[in-house]
Structure 1
Amino acid sequence: MSDAAIDLDDVQGTILRGYRVNLARHFVLTITDPAATGKLIAALVHGDNGLPAITTARRKVPKPAIFTNMCLTATGLAALGISARQLASFDPAFQRGATDPASAATVGDVGPSAPQHWIGGLHDGARVHILLSVWATDSSDALEDASARLRAAFVGSMTELYVQDGAELPDRSVHFGYRHGIAQPAIIGAPPRKRYARDAQAPVPAGEFLLGHLNAAGGTYRVLPAELSTNSSYAVFRILEQDVAGFEAMLVRYAAETGIDTELLAANMLGRWRNGNPLTLAPAAQGTPLPDAQLNNFNFVSADPAKDDTLGLKCPIGAHIRRNNPRDAAVIGTDSAHHRLVRRSMPYGPQYDLSRHGAAGQDVAGPGQPARGLIGYFINASIRNQFEFLCSEWNRRSDFVKAATGPEGPGAGNAVYNISGEDVFLGVNDPATSSFTLAGKGPKGSANHTLRGFSRLVTTRGGVYCFFPSIKGLLFLAALQDQPAGQSQRVAASEMPAS
């Protein structure tokens, strides 16, 4: 069964395109007047009244100075007129929302990361209706001008609950020092990426990211009403604060314990050196940065002993990139093609300056540190099967790896013995129970070394489960308040969703 081509003019751009910009601003909004909000949505789609138009997946030349996209929560859709019966057809996780206790427990938003501690009013999911994101290529003036126009348009329709800015660091890294934005899925029917083009993995069906298209299981995700059921998508918006000083101190501590260089330890925990080179291709030394086209062109399993890394002797099985994309390794949950995510994130907060800190990562100027971290969207067609699955099954469990031996046989080891604990960066790590395994060659993990006793490095400061309507879907939502009473509630039998 073949899939239909993607109508790039009907898809919001951030789903299929990386904008390659330097600045971002995310508005968190609550609807105060549904009818006025509908008119504003229509104006944004068309770019009327000097407003920045909603950006589609169709590339424009020359590159615009501003990109804009909009998504809504379940309560936001309800405020605009989507009925309870229609909402019941949406992804169950989306219906719950990010602040629901079941959602929070599933993804590890507990303790200091629990929703009651979230910033900017994000703890009150009932009030979070719309996220409007604006990205600027390189001009803060363009971002401020667009923001001023939007804020003027919000008056009488929506109230701004919170705004969070992001800005790329000069070396396009995250605050932990790693180059970011490297690994993204190649999507069948989507515009090819200009960078990191080659990938050892097969392209992923469009239905893993867009409703109404075939997914990896051979079905389609659909919702009610039908107007929202094609070319729309889900996303999870996250504000993730990073404990950079804690991470640097952790590297110093374990370097002293193991005799391993701090940079090699950092590479083992992520699966890539901080310059982006994957351990699978550069296991011994960081070296000069590989060409972009080679950074993703690898797998973990091979019949050739020189290329095989089934046991995680080059890239630890518990490394962040292997947990979030096991590639061809044997794991629970079918395979990685069924659980891929598109990531659209950007750092926030000032860059961490190692020259101002002691060898153990302590701030020599005092204990206080400005907030810094990562902000953005994790995009998928099923929050439960993609985002929540990754968080709960692969990031937080060490038994997601199936028994597997490499070309040398069981005497060299088995994958199930070469991983422990949760993800170093996204796990719920407590010093009393946390662990990370550095594998050695030997049966049943006999040559392994396990690091223990580290704390959580990333704290969730906010989260939203979102729905990105198609362009036609946005116009449908914009017109709901103009329909006769009850018309939007009538659902034809042919509109029943398919899984």
Structure 2
Amino acid sequence: MTQSLVTSAIQFDIERADLVDAKLKEFRPELFGKEGLIRSALRDQGVHFMSITVVRGDTGEPTHLVFEMSVDGEPQNAFDTVGTRLAAFVSDILSVAAIQPTGSLSQLLASHHVRTGQGLFDVPGLDFCGTPGMTVARIKREYLLARELRSYFDTHPAAGAPLAVVARVRDFVKANADLAPLLSAEPFPRLAAEDPSRLDFGFVLSLAFRGLLKFFWPVLCLLGLAVIAATIVAGLSQGFAVGVIAFFLSTMIAAVAILAVVVSVYVGLRRLEAANTPVDTLVNPDVMASLTEAENLKDTQQNHLAGISIMQAGPLRGLTLRIAFWVIGQMATRRFRPGFLGDISTIHYARWLRLPKTNKLLFFSNYGGSWESYLEDFITKASGGLTAAWSNTVGFPCTENLFFKGATDGDRFKRWARRQQQPTWFWYSAYPHLTTARIRTNAAIRQGLGTISTEDEAAAWLGLFGSKVRPATLIETFEVQTLLYGGLSKHPYATCLAIRLSDDSKQACAWLKSIEDQITFGDQPPADRVLICALTADGLRRLGLPSDIGDAFPTAFRLGMGSSGRANLLADTGDDQAGQWLWGGPENAVDAAILIYADSEPTLASYAGELISGIDAAGGRVLHRVTPTPLPQPKPGESAVQTVREPFGFADGISQPIIKGTRRWMRQSDAIHAVEPGEFLLGYPDTRGFFPPSPQVPAAMDPGNLLPLAEPTHSRGTLQPDFSTSGAAAARDLGRNGTFLVIRQLAQYVDVFNDYVGDAAKRYADHPAVPDQLDPGLLPEWIGAKMVGRWKDGSSLVRYPHGPATRKQNGGHFRPDNDFLPGAEDPLGERCPLGAHIRRSNPRDSLAPASKDELSIVNRHRILRVGRGFDASGANDPEEQKPGLLFMCLNADIERQFEFIQQTWATAWQFHGLENEVDPITGRGGGMGRLTIPSPRGPLNLTGIKDFVRMRGGAYLFMPSRSAVRFLARLGSN
């Protein structure tokens, strides 16, 4: 429905201004009391807001009685309502002002209606409505619905599945004759997140061109006529060819002329800005007392602001005011949601206008909350618009280029704003107890009640009662498998089962359904045992997922780690090739992996036995099992978990990304390692603000509405949910809250490694690159540390170049350091070599020292490592007896994260400008590996580095969300 913001300004004698103000103040009880006569008269008349303000004129200017109203329908509705419902009250005010209407009150207001616009000859003005399209009646009905539903939940707490709760609420509403019509949703402005990309260069260029046409068209017309005249005269007198030349020359001259006009306007503006003298005085105490008396009234959540400013003299400021209003209007339409200015959502309505025949710029606004919070919102979130409009008035804080500075000088701006303000004594609001946020929430409650059809929509809807919309970056914790939140150090015993599922999809689904309630989700796992489940692309097919949906998963995942296409990329060649793997290769491919963690060995053994029996009973089988070495636990009296060491003896698990939104991030905000959740979870924004692609499922395949919507407009960065369209037929998101798990069983040849560093220490003992400060007994460890990038105790070479931290601290407790920046602190690699393992696996700022952009780029390739070392000494096969690492990591994009690290950093022979070097620990140099160790006295070149690690099995798996597990487990019954 149309909404109108209407202003009428009636002249009267300034000598009566104080009397009129006093009369307006007399009516306050009739405006704000529940049974006030004015409030009763305007009730249910479609009037949102109304105020009457005295605007005093300066010498030679008239004084005005200004009526400003926000009404449903056309402006005449406002005039008629006041003329009929408030005739007695307004006539009393007019009598005090000595205003004698010549006709009806409605006609008087209509005849003094101030129509505003942004053209050259319009009265300059700009309107803003915070609840567009919403009538007074609708706002009140939806408030009633929300209030009744809150009362319902007081006696009927939400329990069970969200969609079932919503169904019960719908039954309650249907049974109430007053509420039942509200099950039919009305149109509501979309509240989808703003798109910063909408302000592109093309839009700015278009804005400049349209502005030139709008405000400089008289100049353009004159110059156009001059061009035509010059062309005709030259053509008639000198011939056609000369006429054409004259046309082009005169056009060029005209273009220069219009440019000169624009430049002169800009230069004039800058001169006016430089000459402006800001006024920084405090508000008169008596005026301030009146202002505060008129604000923050009891039983209302709203305030009204009437600001009266004096325009700077001259026509140029009139032009820049019009330009400012037009640009603000264009930007608001292009950039913001309907009813919003950025993140500011407190404005019910606002209006700027220049009062005709005066030097006054008026500003009226009805807003929620306090004056202080209202101004702070603008200062911090939308200062450009305020600056552009008010910089044209006297005494405003210093500005630059019309839109800049000014209101950002917060304290001076607030002083200035208070000095412009006038107490609003006569002010009416149809719903003074409601804020814009509450109105939108009530509308969303009604809208959702009539349209939602999925579990995630229902959960979002229930969140409207006493909660708020889940931000796009806030992880739905209990949908995510627990492994994302850490390595489960409090569950020291673990095992990994690589599984082949039954060829019968019903049996495979039955197995998954049998364990779905045992899979552990959330960041607070049970104390005794944890179960994690992940599936390969083959596993998804065995469960019955159609191929067209499976094809929506990333290529790397679909092809699998053991495919020939990944071998060269991962350097899985030679004796690392998939054909020689113990599991995960072409002859022993797996469908799933389950990870079991337990607080004790008996618990692990018992639970693993139960699960293996269940796998066998469902027609599957365990192809391979890896049991990591139990994690070291605190000794009696110790509180900290002991440092985990991998088989070569180095502290492990030190450098990990910190996912924003997790408990670890809340406890330890780290700019170096903090990354967006979308780098590890599907359905969340990544470092660049985009949502990673996620496989989708047609709605028909999800009759139980188990999966979230593929485009959840009710939760992605909105201030209120948007349930404008039903999700019943919308695609479902199979990937949301899921991630990809990479598992690689790596055998580590500890004896070969120790022999190599020992021999190298003897070979290079007298090399000038060996620091004089180094204890000779540490030389083998120093060689190994240079290869790894850390000492065995976890201390970094960047911070501790000549010995491990624990040695310096005489063996005291040391927490491995991880906040260093190798590029800034060690740009030449003289402490930590450029090709060292940790510098390859996480370069940080190494490739562009001290660059925040480089850190952001590197964080796009981080992985979350969740692996554990193992000791397979009891295996029958001698080759399986090697200890090693069950490497596991989580990432949202296998190619961009895990594979990128492996190919572009770890095994790249030219990494960081090096030549013929690979990762000295995990690289496969075939005995020809090398590492350059720079030093001020020349480099030490480690050569003949052997292969210390061998690939023994692995897989790419998808670790689904709780909802996805439930969906997949029921595929066999669809």
Structures share fold, TM-score greater than 0.5 = yes
Alignment of 1:166-177 (within 5 A): 166-168=628-630, 170=632, 172-177=644-649
Distance across 1 between alignment mates of 2:837 and 2:480: 30
Q: How many residues align?
A: 433
Residues 368, 148 of structure 1: CA spacing in aligned structure 2 closer, same or farther, 3 A cutoff?
Answer: closer
User: What amino acid is the match of 1:299?
Assistant: L
Say whether 1:45 aligns with 2:507. Answer: no
Q: Contact 1:346–1:375 at 8 Å: present in 2 too? A: yes
User: What amino acid is the match of 1:386?
Assistant: Q
Distance across 2 between alignment mates of 1:214 and 1:76: 28
Deviations 1:144-189 (A, max 9, x none): 1101211221113422212111113646211100111111100011
Distance across 2 between alignment mates of 1:133 and 1:72: 12
Distance across 1 between alignment mates of 2:666 and 2:540: 35
Distance across 2 between alignment mates of 1:198 and 1:227: 30
Distance across 2 between alignment mates of 1:335 and 1:316: 21
Which residue matches 1:246?
752
User: 2:575 pairs with 83, 106, 112, which one?
Assistant: 112
Alignment of 1:344-355 (within 5 A): 344-349=866-871
Say whether 1:93 aligns with 2:584. Answer: no
Say whether 1:159 aligns with 2:654. Answer: no
Which residue matches 2:594?
132
Q: Contact 2:665–2:674 at 8 Å: present in 1 too? A: no
Alignment of 1:68-87 (within 5 A): 68-87=531-550
User: 1:299 pairs with 821, 841, 847, which one?
Assistant: 821
Which residue matches 1:436?
931
Q: What secondary structure is seen at the aligned counterpart in 1 of 2:511? A: helix
Q: What secondary structure is seen at the aligned counterpart in 2 of 1:239? A: strand
User: Where in structure 1 are there 5+ consecutive unaligned residues?
Assistant: 47-52, 303-307, 352-366, 402-415, 484-499
User: What amino acid is the match of 2:968?
Assistant: L
1:124 Cα offset (Å): 2.9
Which residue matches 2:150?
none
Q: What secondary structure is seen at the aligned counterpart in 2 of 1:310? A: coil
Say whether 1:146 aligns with 2:615. Answer: no
User: What amino acid is the match of 1:466?
Assistant: L
Residues 110, 28 of structure 1: CA spacing in aligned structure 2 closer, same or farther, 3 A cutoff?
Answer: same
Residues 175, 203 of structure 1: CA spacing in aligned structure 2 closer, same or farther, 3 A cutoff?
Answer: same
Distance across 2 between alignment mates of 1:244 and 1:434: 17
Which residue matches 2:917?
421
User: What amino acid is the match of 2:743?
Assistant: F
User: What amino acid is the match of 1:237?
Assistant: I
1:380 Cα offset (Å): 0.4
Residues 65, 429 of structure 1: CA spacing in aligned structure 2 closer, same or farther, 3 A cutoff?
Answer: same
CA-based RMSD: 2.5
Q: What secondary structure is seen at the aligned counterpart in 1 of 2:474? A: coil
1:126 Cα offset (Å): 7.2
User: What amino acid is the match of 1:481?
Assistant: G
Q: Contact 2:823–2:847 at 8 Å: present in 1 too? A: no
Say whether 1:57 aligns with 2:522. Answer: yes
Quick check: which one's helix share is greater?
2
Distance across 2 between alignment mates of 1:321 and 1:384: 20
Alignment of 1:78-477 (within 5 A): 78-119=541-582, 121-124=583-586, 127-137=589-599, 139-154=600-615, 155-168=617-630, 170=632, 172-192=644-664, 197=668, 199=670, 201-221=672-692, 222-225=694-697, 226-259=732-765, 260=770, 261-288=779-806, 295-302=817-824, 308-330=825-847, 335-349=857-871, 370-401=881-912, 416=913, 421-431=917-927, 433-441=928-936, 447-477=938-968
User: What amino acid is the match of 2:532?
Assistant: N
Say whether 1:27 aligns with 2:494. Answer: no
Distance across 1 between alignment mates of 2:493 and 2:691: 35
User: What amino acid is the match of 1:117?
Assistant: Q
Distance across 2 between alignment mates of 1:118 and 1:58: 34
Distance across 1 between alignment mates of 2:879 and 2:676: 46
The more displaced of 239-248 and 17-26 is 17-26
**Percent identity (aligned):** 27
1:263 Cα offset (Å): 0.9
Query: RCO higher in 1 or 2 (8 Å CA, sep ≥ 6)?
Result: 1
Residues 268, 199 of structure 1: CA spacing in aligned structure 2 closer, same or farther, 3 A cutoff?
Answer: farther
Say whether 1:10 aligns with 2:487. Answer: no
Residues 125, 378 of structure 1: CA spacing in aligned structure 2 closer, same or farther, 3 A cutoff?
Answer: farther
Q: Contact 1:277–1:290 at 8 Å: present in 2 too? A: no
Q: Contact 1:12–1:57 at 8 Å: present in 2 too? A: yes
Residues 36, 350 of structure 1: CA spacing in aligned structure 2 closer, same or farther, 3 A cutoff?
Answer: closer
User: What amino acid is the match of 2:859?
Assistant: A
Q: What secondary structure is seen at the aligned counterpart in 2 of 1:264? A: helix
1:40 Cα offset (Å): 2.7
